[in-house]
Chains A and B, each alone.
Chain A
């Protein structure tokens, strides 16, 4: 599945969330990740994040679709994400 994940967490927990996301998803912007995952990987990521955040204060939203083709996106300004799979 294709996952778009955004987080809004307290400053002291940001690094932990960032590190958890980096293991599974591609960084696109500050506090914004996307990438393709299997269902098991998605569940693992969600479990890690759930254990990291403080549910009273933080918020994480993940959008999932079947494939990246089903998402139309437009970028204005800088493209901050990585160069793809040819480096």
Chain B
């Protein structure tokens, strides 16, 4: 991953080509946009992309990953450059740690509790306090992964119901649905969750950690990068629920930003652009970090989270999931 560089959001159908050892992006209506390859950290494609081998090879040579989202905002897959960050000792230790059931349960509980508290923080309402108290009381007695996930499910359901009370009727979730999301609110949450997942994956890729060896989601998702799912957990409320709430209260979203059919919904072309702008601005927001004694962006917070796992592996420093302190 390049040290400097930006995330490029491709919200329209486009063609990615290589030109002069750099990138050229062709869009159907406009003149081609040339992007200096050294300025690209990763690419996120919301719409159809057409890419060829020579473009992929230059992405790979510069350590740029490409995330592809499908029509409903699911993470369809990503192109990752050949591993340049691999480190045997870290990986061996990661495997050892994730095989220990006690540690897995401890970290799983910590992640769920952090996600719960972050949801309470981002919704900023005391309607959620009783549910959070129940979660706090019940979690310590859960040792199995399924039991932990069940507690999380209960809490999340309450959380979404509370979120519904803060939204205009047309954006309400009315119960979380996925694959495909059934209404506008669900489509928005799906997109944002996928974007968080993609950001976490990029962050993990810049460390020697293996994204598929996780703690909490260890056995459920056989085909996905479970460590990325784990680390995305505490960040989801910070982006998905909070941005939905904010966009609704600022009347930033309109029904025309969504393509709603019976039983399924997705973002329209304009909506995708809006979501990309929202997420980009949010990732660029900075807060003062008390230990580092400098400002860090939300984007960097995700990277710091991955580094915490590296420290857990190398120095046995206990892992404390992210919580907003501001």
Contacts and interface: CB of A to CB of B under 8 A. Distances in A.
Interface of A: 19, 22-27, 35-38, 41, 82-83, 85-87
Contacts of A23: 20-22, 36-38
Contacts of A19: 20-21
B69 to A, nearest CB: 14
A83 B14 CA distance: 14
A24 B22 CA distance: 8
A86 B276 contact: yes
Contacts of A86: 8-9, 11, 273, 276-277, 280
B317 interface: no
Interface string B1-41: 00110111111101000011110010100000111111100
Interface of B: 3-4, 6-12, 14, 19-22, 25, 27, 33-39, 273, 276-277, 280
Given A23-B21, A38-B4, A87 B38 contact: no
Given A38-B4, A82-B34, A26 B39 contact: yes
A27 B33 CA distance: 9
B39 A87 contact: no
A87 B27 CA distance: 9
Nearest to B10: A87
B34 A85 contact: no
A83 B33 contact: yes
Nearest to B20: A19
Which of B9, B22, B36, B280 neighbours the largest number of chain A CB atoms within 10 Å of its CB? B36
Nearest to A16: B20
A13 B269 CA distance: 42
A37 B39 CA distance: 8
A22 B8 contact: no
Nearest to A25: B36
B20 A87 contact: no
Contacts of A24: 36, 38-39
Contacts of A25: 36, 39
